[in-house]
Amino acid sequence: MTDFKDRERGEERKFVMDEDAAFRVAARRNRLLGHWAADKMGLTPEETDAYAKAVVQADFEEAGDEDVIRKVLGDLTQAGCDVSEAEVRAALEEKAVEARRQLMSES
């Protein structure tokens, strides 16, 4: 019975670690996407940092990535940038890979 409990605790710890890693990757990805979009909109460095934080916060509105995509696409459109939803989605995927690489290199 102890072996089963030990295994269960180990699985729970692994789940917590995996969830934490996924959260950190998503937050980093969203920040990177915010910097990408801010560059397209021609924001100043101060505005870029604030915008990147706003993109990270947008991810807490609903589950999934649609809230982030909607915010970035809406802001780019409002700023007069000619960017499609497909481009934003591609950038999101690209930034996810970059975020994973950055976090792995920090470990």
- Residue 18 pLDDT > 80: no
Report DSSP state, residue 59: T
Greater confidence (29 vs 11) lies with 29
Mean pLDDT of all residues belonging to the chain: 92
Report DSSP state, residue 107: -
Share of the chain above pLDDT 70, in %: 99
| Count of structural domains within the chain | 1
**CB-facing half-sphere around the CA of 46: CA atoms within 13 A:** 0
Residue 81: what are its φ and ψ, rounded to 5°? -85, 135
Q: What is the CATH number of the domain that holds 80?
A: 1.10.790.20
85-103 pLDDT, tens digit each: 999 999 999 999 999 999 9
Q: What is the mean pLDDT of residues 36-65?
A: 94
pLDDT band at 54 (very low <50, low <70, confident <90, very high): very high
C-alpha angle with apex 92: 89 to 93, nearest 5 degrees? 90
Range of the domain at 40: 2-106
Taking the CA atoms of 64, 104, 53 and 47 in sequence, report the sign of the dihedral they define. negative
Cα–Cα distances in angstroms (integers) from residue 12 to residues 15, 16, 23, 104, 105, in the given order: 5, 6, 17, 22, 25
